[in-house]
Chain A
Amino acid sequence: MTEADPVRLYRTVRLIRRFEERAIDLVRSGHVVGGIHPYLGQEGVAAGVCAALRPGDVVAGTHRGHGHVLAKGADPARTMAELCGRVTGLNRGRGGSMHAADFAVGVLGANAIVGAGGAIVTGAVWARRRRGEDLVGVSFLGDGAVNEGMLLEAFNLAALWRVPVLFVCENNGYATTMPVAGAVAGSITGRAEAFGIPASVVDGQDPEAVRAATAAAVGRMRAGGGPEFIEARTYRFDAHHTFEHAVRLDYRPPEEVARGRSRDPVEIAGSRLAPDRRAEVDASVEAELDAVVAFALAGPEPDPAGALEHLYASGLTARAGGG
């Protein structure tokens, strides 16, 4: 989508919002074990970025990854089934929240290791372009990732070899409890600029602004340019991880949270639709999510006898662990 499409953008933002809220319900009810890193508040970034991509483009997500997976086009029902650990899940119940992947739509996976995705997506884009495919890649990363050495190495490789990867830093103000000011010397964009990577800052709460910035960067990359960098300023509305719902951690002043939540991407995108159109979208999202949750909970649990299936692509089987 190189043109604005407010309805589609709103639908994606709304879908991610309600998906996450349903997922949190399923964490509370015990259907999603291990909890999740909610994407609440940041929906505009994934929705805006992926709206400017083509189906053949690839993205690498993060531990806070459901938004990236959904926005790139993975089936919400199979995504929810994956969170619930069912064989009907994207990863057949082998990945869960932090590893949800759908190669068929270009999602190389959420990744639980901070800063790990950049080099992987750079290699994937390079290899496919060498084969003559016309694609770009996106590496989503948090503000915490910009202090990981491997990611900085990846900036260097992508820039040096002119691999068209868009690095999208979702600056939500915190890495777990650590504020950006306590962790980042210099600036976030300065890291990219040091490698000659064009960097810009965008309002991450406005999905259309993110889409437009991405479309511009991706347009330059498709025209033969190297990597680019966008810092999307955003705010995490909820916990770092749902464990925080039970354990109060004191690191964000309530006034700051209130201020952050006052700029809601769902409201910003929704205000651009006529009220009845918006109500239609909301109703269709709700109906879809009812079906999503029903599908997820109806999926069979995997057979423990196959716990190590897919360990080796070569067909090797591992020795059993029992006595």
Chain B
Amino acid sequence: MPRLSYRKALNRALADELARDEEVFLLGEDIRVAASNVTAGLLKRFGPERVRDTPLSEQAFTSFATGAALAGARPVVEFQIPSLLFLVFEQIVNHAHKFPLMTGGQCAVPVTYLVPGSGSRTGWAGQHSDHPYSLFAHVGVTTVVPATPADAYGLLVSAIRCDDPVVVFAPAGAMEVRSDVDVASLRPVPLGRGRVHRRGDDVTVVAVGHLVHDALAVADDLADQVSVEVFDPRTLYPFDWDGLLTSVSRTGRLVVVDDSNRSCGIGAEVIASVVERVRLHAPPRRVTRPDGAVLPFAPALDRAVQPGREQLRSAIQHLMKDG
């Protein structure tokens, strides 16, 4: 079976949607030459009207996309750096997200915001290493963080077809993942539906984005001690609460591994939402970035601030001792 890379899956999703729907177009910095490699070959195939390289004007081109969407287009906006989302948070939250309600349902704003390489890029330090997906879940903007190439394809396609704004985080830690995929079998993946990557009976580990791969590795390592179920929400907002509750109701234990800062991160919401509904055998745990994290430059420091396999392993082991 052919090997599909995560990056190529995103590229294929963009190409397929550009080919399928004339209203889809791309906006972003250096997308003409595919600096992020996600738009490779698209200019040649679809031309500069639909693969629009922009000046460095994130706020204006984000709202330009809002306007185009109000007029019926389906823009996909690529951001070079995850922290650029801070720069355009106002444009996304205060305008794109609020227009349908504020106008009493007169419009839709189907824009996709794509961040290839979110989270730590190792060595890019403080201002390039953020992973602000929890902010978008907090404000109620549809937010997806695909872990695998097939999900990257399927979720990006669904994001583009969605009538609401959607932020797509493609974690740097997942961008190099390749998997055996029958390309002909690639399909849209529904938004708001999680996926159990590994069945288990003792504990549910909710892992977000690239951390799914770490969770699977830890689950394998611990296989002779504990049976770990790995649940990948894929979409953080709207969250697949039914899927997760089904899993946790069976295992009775919960650990979340999440690349957000701890306070108000999605991990906190996952735990709160589960304990509101399910009586667990042991207090739940979460493995996250520290509060207020700024990723330091030196590689050992950068790694120290991100949730890691060792932390996850010990969280699972401690939790099993707790009950």
Contacts and interface: CB of A to CB of B under 8 A. Distances in A.
A218 interface: no
Contact of A154 (B63, B95, B162, B164): B63
A157 B60 CA distance: 8
A90 interface: yes
A313 B66 CA distance: 14
A95 B104 contact: yes
B67 A121 contact: yes
A141 interface: no
Contacts of A104: 106
B290 to A, nearest CB: 28
Contacts of A127: 67-69, 71-73
A66 to B, nearest CB: 16
A103 B57 contact: no
Nearest to B238: A316
A99 B98 CA distance: 10
Interface stretch (A38-46, A112-120, A258-266, A277-285): A112-120
Interface residues of A, number: 47
Contacts of B1: none
Given A94-B102, A130-B49, A313 B59 contact: no
Contacts of B66: 119-120, 123
Interface string B119-136: 000000000000000000
A124 B71 contact: yes
A311 B100 contact: yes
Nearest to B60: A153
Interface centre among B69, B102, B162 (most CB of A within 10 A): B102
Interface centre among B60, B70, B101 (most CB of A within 10 A): B60
Contact of B68 (A90, A95, A116, A126): A126
B94 A123 contact: no
B95 A113 contact: yes
Interface stretch (B107-115, B213-221, B223-231, B302-310): B107-115
B188 interface: no
Given A156-B55, A312-B164, A116 B95 contact: yes
Interface in A190-230: none
B60 A156 contact: yes
B79 to A, nearest CB: 15
A93 B94 CA distance: 18
Contacts of A92: 104-105
A312 B100 contact: yes
Nearest to B164: A314
B104 A109 contact: no
A119 B103 CA distance: 18
Contacts of B238: 316
Given A120-B70, A310-B101, A91 B63 contact: no
Interface in A156-196: 156-157, 160
A120 B94 CA distance: 12
Nearest to B95: A116
10 contacts: A95-B102, A95-B103, A113-B94, A122-B67, A123-B63, A123-B66, A128-B72, A130-B73, A149-B59, A153-B60
Interface of B: 49, 54-55, 57, 59-73, 75, 90-91, 94-95, 99-110, 140, 142, 162-164, 192, 238
